[in-house]
């Protein structure tokens, strides 16, 4: 047991004398052979036992992101991209959670893909949206409201479920009250667990929902996207075979002005209603 020189965490390993940077094929082989024989875990001790001059964390990362046998290599498919976008809308930068719903994909890969591809698309889409809202704001509001408008755009397009721990925490769904009424979010199905919907700050349009993130995520994929398909059909949208069939983030919609393009209006509120309906139907919400 080492004597700690100061309070706080000690480094995961002494960095001296360790290899850094790209892994060689030889190192990969040693690591994967070792894990095949001894299994994962005990990462701190693993390098010493396996005879690798690497930090334990580095070994873990290499295994999880590259050497695992179930890693799917190659381009992200359109379906996967769609799923990433939807999950990111819902979860934000929770890459590991998102990766958990994409078999064979790693959080690092998805994070990189998002940063290099999707965030750009999102940005250009958002700037289009901001332009639209600025235009309509300029007509209605006095000068000086543009910051407010931008903030509202942000709110509208990032109604993200924020969870730090697995078991939740309150979730904020900034839906309009009439949206909720129209979609039966306030219907008696919720009344059997009275704490599931709690008006926040006296504002009837803001609600906090308690639920178990694990339960949600574990059954999320199939149920949610089946609902998306159903929702699209109800809205008269053709289901194109993509996950969920939703076209809200198609390339065409990302570029140019989607109003007047004949493309279904990006309707995040509708997607959230779908989610809310999904949550409602789960009947697995738990009181804390």
Return residues touching DNA (CB under 7 A). 1-2, 4, 7, 9-10, 12, 15, 19-23, 41-45, 54-58, 60-62, 65-66, 93-97, 107-109, 111-113, 115-117, 164-166
Rounded to a whole number of angstroms, the minimum distance from the CB of residue 212 to DNA is 13
Considering the complex, state which of residue 49 and residue 135 has its C-beta at the smaller distance from DNA: 49
Smallest separation (angstroms) from DNA to the CB of 239: 29
Q: Are 63 and 41 in contact, with CB atoms under 8 Å apart? A: no
Q: Which residues pair with 167 in a beta bridge?
A: 212
| Closer CB to DNA, 95 or 207, in the complex | 95
Comparing CB distances to DNA, the nearer of 143 and 164 is: 164
Tokens describing residue 20: 């850094």
Burial 94-127 (b: 16+ CB within 10 A, else e): bbebbbbbbeebbbebbeebbeeebeebbeebbe
Min CB(78)–DNA separation in Å? 16
> How far apart are CB 45 and DNA at their closest, in Å?
7
Closest CA to 213 of 157, 244, 171: 171
| Three-state SS at 80 | helix
Cβ distance to DNA smaller for residue 59 or 253 = 59
Closer residue to DNA (CB): 20 or 140: 20
Q: What Cα–Cα distance (Å) separates residue 24 from each residue in 21, 29, 47, 183?
A: 9, 9, 15, 56
d(CA 62, CA 32): 10
Q: At its nearest, how many Å lie between DNA and the CB of residue 207?
A: 24
> Of 35 and 180, which CB lies nearer to DNA in the complex structure?
35
- Taking the complex as a whole, how short is the minimal distance between the CB of residue 71 and DNA, in angstroms? 10
Please identify which residue in the block is written with the tokens 């209006």. 265
Structure letter (DSSP) for residue 93 = S
Give φ, ψ of 22 to 5 degrees: -60, 145
Antiparallel, parallel or unpaired: β 198-200 and 203-212:
antiparallel
């Amino acid at each position: 047991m080492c004597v700690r020189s100061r309070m706080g965490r000690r480094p995961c390993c002494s960095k001296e004398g360790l290899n850094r940077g790209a892994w060689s094929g030889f190192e990969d082989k040693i690591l994967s052979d070792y894990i095949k024989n001894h299994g994962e875990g005990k990462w701190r001790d693993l390098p010493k036992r396996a005879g690798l001059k690497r930090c334990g964390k580095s070994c873990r990362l290499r295994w999880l992101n590259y050497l695992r046998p179930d890693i799917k290599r190659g381009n992200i498919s359109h379906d996967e991209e769609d799923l990433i976008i939807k999950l990111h809308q819902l979860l934000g930068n929770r890459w590991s959670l998102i990766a958990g719903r994409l078999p064979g994909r790693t959080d690092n890969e998805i994070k990189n893909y998002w940063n290099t591809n999707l965030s750009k698309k999102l940005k250009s889409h958002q700037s289009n949206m901001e332009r639209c809202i600025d235009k309509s704001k300029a007509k209605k509001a006095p000068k000086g409201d543009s910051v407010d408008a931008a903030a509202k755009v942000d709110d509208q397009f990032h109604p993200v479920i924020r969870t730090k721990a697995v078991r939740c925490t309150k979730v904020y769904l900034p839906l309009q009250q009439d949206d909720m009424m129209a979609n039966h979010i306030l219907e008696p199905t919720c009344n059997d667990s009275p704490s599931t919907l709690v008006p926040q700050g006296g504002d009837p349009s803001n609600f906090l929902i308690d639920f178990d993130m694990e339960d949600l995520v574990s059954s999320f994929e199939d149920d949610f996207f089946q609902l998306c398909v159903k929702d699209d059909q109800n809205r008269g949208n053709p289901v194109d075979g993509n996950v969920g069939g939703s076209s809200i983030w198609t390339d065409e919609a990302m570029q140019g002005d989607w109003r007047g393009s004949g493309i279904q209006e990006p309707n995040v509120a509708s997607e959230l209603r779908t989610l809310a309906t999904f949550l409602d139907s789960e009947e697995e919400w738990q009181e804390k």
